[in-house]
Structure 1
Amino acid sequence: MQQWIISGVVTRESLISRTGKTWKRLGDISELTQYFTIADEARNKRH
């Protein structure tokens, strides 16, 4: 998941579910925040 976030395969708006019944935005999962921050910083350096 971390590599997908950093490479831009998934975004904060992407949804994830363990069972297919309840879905959660990746951006709402605190454990992933650091990876989205890294991805944002990398994209900002390229522009």
Structure 2
Amino acid sequence: MLTPDALGVATASTVKTLKVEAPAARSAGIKVKSVEELVEKLKNEAKVI
């Protein structure tokens, strides 16, 4: 069985964590009653389709 050292592969971690923070707060979503309402909101309000 080959080891990482025998293959010349370094197994030590080379990643250093600099900072960790919580994601920014998002506004609450909405629930739609139907696919038609969803499509209407995507077309007319969000203008993504």
Give your verdict on TM over 0.5.
Answer: no
Answer 1 or 2: which has greater helix percent: 1
| Alignment TM-score, normalising by the size of structure 2 | 0.29
| Alignment TM-score, normalising by the size of structure 1 | 0.30
Flag the structure with larger Rg.
2
